[in-house]
Structure 1
Amino acid sequence: MDRGMVGDVSRGRLEVEERRAGGSAVFTPKGELDFHTAEVLREPLDRSLDDGLSRIVVDCSQLQFCDSTGLNVLLGARLRAEAAGGGVHLAAMRSAVARVFEITGAEAVFTVHQTLADALEQ
């Protein structure tokens, strides 16, 4: 499994690390995903999808907050990934972030894993 760092992007309250692991593009957002920071995650997600990587894993273990704009970024990536035969897998969500997905019903449209290792195994 290739665990080399591909890059990282930062804008204030959100930093996103990205790497490849096997056939997956793995993103680790750190901080707050909201209206002001959504592009920090959207841009690398779009880039990976444009490059033909349709299996996306988002390691949410360091994501402290996600609002509706952040949720929409992930939903948009999911639609594109599924259209290309892949999907978006969410891993290790903190309770505050998981609650947003619960309240909106979005948890039902994503594959959610307890750990990053679980997400990478499938």
Structure 2
Amino acid sequence: MKALGVKIAYYPGFCLLVLRGDLEELSAPILSLVVEEALEHSSRIVVDAANLDSCDYQGTALLAAMHRRAEVAGGGLSLAFAHGSLKRLLEFDRRNGSGPGTELVTTLDW
């Protein structure tokens, strides 16, 4: 397991979060804190998942919860470069019409 790393960059109109490592049950609270901070600056968040090594169900559930919080603030959360386990979980949720992945918007596919 690789520790989750998050870089934050603020741009006019949105906040970019660049993830690396593993997003799973133990690391999800780290991302939750970062997103809370980001939402103080912008309600529009883009998550760059290009360097995310793995993601479990807890990770997708957290991303969906953060998307809902951003929507309440008038924005949303989009995923860029979803791949690997994250992409598979999102596709599974969408095919079944349930689960947190049905709420997330993905952009900039590989």
**Partner residue in 1 for 2:34:** 44
TM-score when normalising by structure 2? 0.84
> Structure 1: how far apart are the matches of 2:89 and 2:14?
25
> Structure 2: how far apart are the matches of 1:14 and 1:42?
12
> Structure 1: how far apart are the matches of 2:55 and 2:84?
11
**Partner residue in 1 for 2:84:** 95
Following TM superposition, the consecutive aligned residue runs of length 4 or more in structure 1 with deviations greater than 3 angstroms are none
**Partner residue in 2 for 1:86:** 75
Please say if residues 56 and 85 of structure 2, whose CA atoms lie closer than 8 Å, have aligned partners that are also in contact.
no
TM-score when normalising by structure 1? 0.77
Gaps of 5+ in 2: 95-99
| SS in structure 1 of the partner of residue 89 of structure 2 | helix
**Partner residue in 2 for 1:30:** 20
Please say if residues 49 and 82 of structure 2, whose CA atoms lie closer than 8 Å, have aligned partners that are also in contact.
yes
Matches within 5 A, 1:55-66: 55-66=44-55
Identity, in percent, stands at 29
RMSD of the alignment, in Å?
A: 1.6
The number of residues matched between the two structures is 103
| SS in structure 1 of the partner of residue 22 of structure 2 | strand
Amino acid at match of 1:65: S
Amino acid at match of 2:90: F
Question: Does residue 112 of the first structure (1) align with residue 106 of the second (2)?
Answer: yes
| SS in structure 2 of the partner of residue 36 of structure 1 | coil
